[in-house]
Amino acid sequence: MTKPFNLLWLQSGGCGGCSMSLLNAETPDFLSYLHLNHIQLLWHPSLSEAGGDEFLALLASIEQGNIQLDALCIEGSVMQGPNGSGRFHILSGTQRPMMQVIASLSEKARYTIAVGNCAAFGGITMAGINPGEACGLQYTGELAGGLLGQNWLSPAQLPVINIAGCPTHPNWVLETLVQIALGDFNQDNLDHYQRPRSYTDHLVHHGCPRNEYYEFKASAEQPTDQGCMMEHRGCLGTQARADCNTRLWNGSGSCLRGGYACINCTAPEFEEPEGHFTRTRQVAGIPVGLPTDVPKAWFVALSSLAKAATPTRLKVNATADHIRIAPGDKTEQDKN
């Protein structure tokens, strides 16, 4: 009989959105996925009946080494305030700051996993003046460090695995857990921000339904327009590292497919844009955030050529709230 892989899931300073997203996993659902892969969920705040003394006894058994902890999943940022004491977030039924509990358990768990941008980098909870002194497990924004420190490694000799996103896609979490449980996860599976490459080796731009508009630089101007949202509407899909438009949410959705610009929520400090989320910052009419691997001069030159060659169909449809000219509809194109 295969020995179960023990997983403990705790929530810290956050909204619980990553858990809500995870519970929407389908074919199979979250619990079936764990069962099929011999992953035993020791406790989850939204799913477990155990609470109070029973829950605290479980944590004590793990810390005392009586129960092996294979993976510790933390959702939400670590609250270090006030003045580094952690007293803003005390574990219920104890006088222990949650930050101390997380640090202690991370020394027992073979793998420590930050689920969501808050746990990874501080996220929304860290935005603004950050009175709660929120941080991530091993990052504070773009700076390595966080609660555990820049050079921290788990007993399995890996840093914190940052499954970043706001919220995370269910399969980003489930695939990573299964890879770990099967012993098929190592440093090579992580990118430069310690995020699983299974989804960050892609761009949100890949598979975007507005790519034809992007190719011809036929841009949306209003929220309901059909065109590409990079030039004017703040879309960062050409820079955001994720597979949202090829691994769809709930089988059919993504931010862009719902008409919303990508805000690059898998990146540190996405919550503190230098401008408005839905307006593209520009210098001399050129977007500041260009595609990640295209030289600026080339992009400007190609954009000029693309705009000169834009079909009438795309020019018209880009600034309309519905398709006004269908492909191959020459009569309608002639009218415009």
For the stretch 259-291, pLDDT in tens is: 999 999 999 999 998 788 888 887 666 676 667
Q: Are residues 215 and 159 in the same domain?
A: no
Residue 281: what pLDDT? 81
* Domain end (from 200, 218, 238): 200
CA 103 – CA 198 distance, rounded (Å):
27
As a whole number, the mean pLDDT across the chain is: 91
Domain that holds residue 11: 5-200
Angle subtended at Cα 291 by Cα 207 and Cα 307, rounded to the nearest 5 degrees: 85
Q: Are residues 27 and 153 in the same domain?
A: yes
- Bigger pLDDT: 166 or 332? 166
* Domain end (from 148, 182, 200): 200
CA 70 – CA 49 distance, rounded (Å):
21
For the stretch 58-73, pLDDT in tens is: 999 999 999 999 999 9
Q: Are residues 174 and 110 in the same domain?
A: yes
Identify the three-state secondary structure at position 52. Answer: helix
Q: Are residues 142 and 206 in the same domain?
A: no
Closest CA to 114 of 131, 92, 135, 86: 135
Q: Are residues 147 and 284 in the same domain?
A: no
Identify the three-state secondary structure at position 17. Answer: helix
Domain presence at residue 336: no
Domain presence at residue 78: yes
CA 52 – CA 283 distance, rounded (Å):
56
Q: Are residues 196 and 153 in the same domain?
A: yes
Mean pLDDT, to the nearest integer, of 16-25? Answer: 94
Buried b (16+ CB within 10 A) or exposed e, 36-59: ebebebbbbeeeeeeeeeebbebb
Q: How many CA atoms lie within 13 A of 22 on its CB side?
A: 27
Identify the three-state secondary structure at position 34. Answer: helix
Q: What is the DSSP track for 63-130? A: HTTSS---EEEEESBEE--STT--TTSBPTTSS-BHHHHHHHHHHHSSEEEEESHHHHH-TGGG-TT-
Strands (E), the chain: 5-11, 39-43, 71-75, 78-79, 111-115, 134-135, 139-140, 143-144, 161-163, 282-283, 286-287
Residue 310: what pLDDT? 84
Domain presence at residue 37: yes
Q: Are residues 212 and 288 in the same domain?
A: yes
**What pTM was estimated for this model as a whole?**
0.91
Residue 288: what pLDDT? 67
Run of H or E residues at 315: helix 312-318
Percentage of the chain modeled with pLDDT above 90: 74
Q: Are residues 67 and 138 in the same domain?
A: yes
Q: At 328, is the pLDDT very low, low, confident or very high (cuts 50, 70, 90)?
A: confident
Q: Are residues 56 and 182 in the same domain?
A: yes
Domain presence at residue 314: yes
* Domain end (from 200, 221, 253): 200
For the stretch 225-254, pLDDT in tens is: 999 998 889 999 999 999 999 999 888 889
- In order of 32, 38, 72, the CA distances from 22 in angstroms are 12, 18, 16
Residue 297: what pLDDT? 65
Q: Are residues 133 and 223 in the same domain?
A: no
Q: How many CA atoms lie within 13 A of 262 on its CB side?
A: 31
For the stretch 186-232, pLDDT in tens is: 999 999 999 999 999 999 999 999 999 988 889 999 999 999 998 88
Q: Are residues 128 and 185 in the same domain?
A: yes
Identify the three-state secondary structure at position 249. Answer: strand
Q: What is the DSSP track for 122-136? A: -TGGG-TT-TT-EE-
pLDDT at residue 298 tops 90 = no
Domain total for the chain?
Answer: 2
Q: Are residues 293 and 315 in the same domain?
A: yes
Domain presence at residue 335: no
Domain presence at residue 21: yes
Residue 275: what pLDDT? 80
Q: How far is CA 287 from the centre of its chain?
A: 24
Domain presence at residue 255: yes
Q: Minimum mean pLDDT among 96-100, 233-237, 294-298: which range?
A: 294-298
Domain presence at residue 128: yes
CB 67 within 8 A of CB 57: no
